[in-house]
């Protein structure tokens, strides 16, 4: 697509809502669960976050693309969102450090998008009616056909998507420190790996699915990490709980983020539930119940641990969301484990919660008989 294209495009929601705009990115048709992110910056990190795989991303900040794209900002090997919706799209950029403009980036990654949409109106609609599927098209402009396609799109409930974004083979990321962490990649962000490596952890990162017991026995890690990722945690749990059980039986420290947090809860018989809208953005207030302090956090999830399913003999709630009271963190009583629903590595977002990586390292040090 040439720069400054004014080709028409349509977004159609499964409830029959239709909005008209202009095509950005690749010409074509795409669909998925429609979600929105309230971050003002960091669009490239958002687009490459594997937890967004299969979802249409609507940015609430109106002006997107003004600082272009940089390879170093990618959180994964490719763009993960299924499509993009923005209010005002910047065809040019004014950042001398950029590799190129956002249009070229979207085309290269084959992302279909639409601009010129009243995103505030559409966000209010989603918040009122609840999350739903949608379709974007710049090649099919028949409204009825697009609404029908949106209605028939696969629902996120029951979808197993971690195996769509995970690496194919185990990979070691070395550090100068003395600690070894086995990480399971359900859609791990590069920033998470960087935060642990920076703290002296050599990471052995395993694919989401497979029998790695023999290799884990031989490598003998000092701790385990379960990553973020897309899809329904109950679908991922059908195979992932085997390795969570293995990790628990070793008695080594365990840390889980996002999907990893949900899997750890499921391993203790605590259920998860689909949220009405979900949390996505870099400005969500979370209260640390241990310290009483409030953290401004980066979040990206459409499922959450069900508070009504909590078993106080197995877990203690450590963090709660101040907007809606949902559970944001757990400490496990039957094994040395901690987990949070949000993203302490941020990227994009504030760094209020990066102390959680330090707490995990303290647990590892204690497990090795070293002072925390």
The question of whether 345 is a catalytic residue gets the answer yes
The alpha carbon of residue 345 and the mean position of all alpha carbons in its chain are separated, in whole angstroms, by 11
Q: CA 52 to CA 355: how far, in whole Å?
A: 25
Q: CA 204 to CA 221: how far, in whole Å?
A: 9
Catalytic hit among 45, 93, 160, 258: 258
Sheet holding 223-226, edge to edge: 171-173, 201-207, 179-185, 223-226, 254-257, 337-340, 327-332, 315-321, 272-288, 294-305
Per-residue buried b or exposed e for 334-367, using 16+ beta carbons within 10 Å of the residue's own CB: ebbbbbbbbbbbbbbbeebbbebbeebbebbbeb
Q: At what angle do helices 355-367 and 190-198 cross, to 10 degrees?
A: 50
Alpha-carbon distance values, 127 to 130, 277, 298 (Å): 5, 6, 19
Q: Which two tokens stand for residue 67?
A: 């600082």
The alpha carbon of residue 191 and the mean position of all alpha carbons in its chain are separated, in whole angstroms, by 12
Q: CA 257 to CA 191: how far, in whole Å?
A: 12
H helix intervals, 223-293:
233-250, 259-267
Alpha-carbon distance values, 366 to 3, 179, 254, 296 (Å): 57, 12, 13, 29
Tell me the Ramachandran region of residue 364: left when phi exceeds 0, alpha when psi lies from -120 to 50, beta otherwise: alpha
H helix intervals, 251-306:
259-267
Q: Which residues are catalytic?
A: 258, 343, 345
């Amino acid at each position: 697509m040439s720069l400054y294209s004014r080709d028409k495009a349509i977004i159609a929601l499964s409830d029959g809502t239709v909005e008209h705009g202009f095509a950005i990115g690749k010409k074509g048709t795409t669909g998925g669960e429609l979600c929105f992110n309230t971050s003002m910056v960091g669009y490239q990190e958002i687009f490459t976050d594997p937890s967004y795989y299969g979802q249409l991303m609507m940015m609430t900040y109106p002006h997107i693309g003004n600082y272009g794209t940089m390879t170093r900002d990618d959180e994964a090997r490719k763009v993960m969102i299924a499509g993009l919706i923005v209010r005002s799209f910047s065809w040019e950029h004014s950042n001398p450090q950029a590799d190129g403009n956002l249009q070229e980036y979207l085309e290269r990654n084959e992302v279909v998008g639409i601009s010129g949409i009243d995103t505030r109106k559409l966000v209010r609609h989603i918040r009122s009616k609840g999350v739903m599927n949608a379709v974007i098209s710049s090649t099919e402009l028949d409204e009825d056909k697009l609404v029908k396609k949106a209605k028939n799109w696969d629902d996120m409930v029951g979808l197993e998507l971690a195996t769509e974004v995970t690496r194919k083979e185990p990979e070691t990321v070395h550090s100068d420190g003395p600690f070894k962490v086995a990480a399971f990649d359900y859609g791990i962000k590069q920033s998470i790996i960087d935060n642990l490596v920076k703290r002296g952890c050599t990471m052995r990162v395993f694919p989401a699915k497979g029998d790695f017991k023999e290799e884990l026995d031989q490598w003998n890690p000092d701790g385990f990490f379960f990553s973020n990722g897309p899809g329904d945690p109950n679908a991922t749990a059908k195979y992932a709980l085997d390795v969570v059980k293995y990790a628990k039986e070793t008695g080594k420290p365990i840390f889980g983020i996002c999907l990893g947090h949900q899997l750890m809860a499921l391993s203790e018989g605590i259920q998860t539930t689909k949220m009405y809208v979900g949390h996505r953005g870099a400005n969500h207030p979370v209260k640390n119940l241990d310290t009483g302090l409030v953290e401004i956090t980066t979040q990206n999830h459409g499922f959450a641990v069900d508070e009504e399913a909590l078993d106080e003999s197995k877990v203690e709630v450590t963090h709660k969301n101040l907007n809606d009271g949902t559970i944001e963190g757990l400490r496990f009583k039957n094994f040395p484990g901690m987990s949070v629903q949000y993203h302490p590595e941020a990227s994009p977002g504030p760094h209020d919660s990066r102390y959680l990586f330090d707490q995990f390292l303290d647990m590892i040090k204690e497990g090795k008989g070293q002072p925390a």
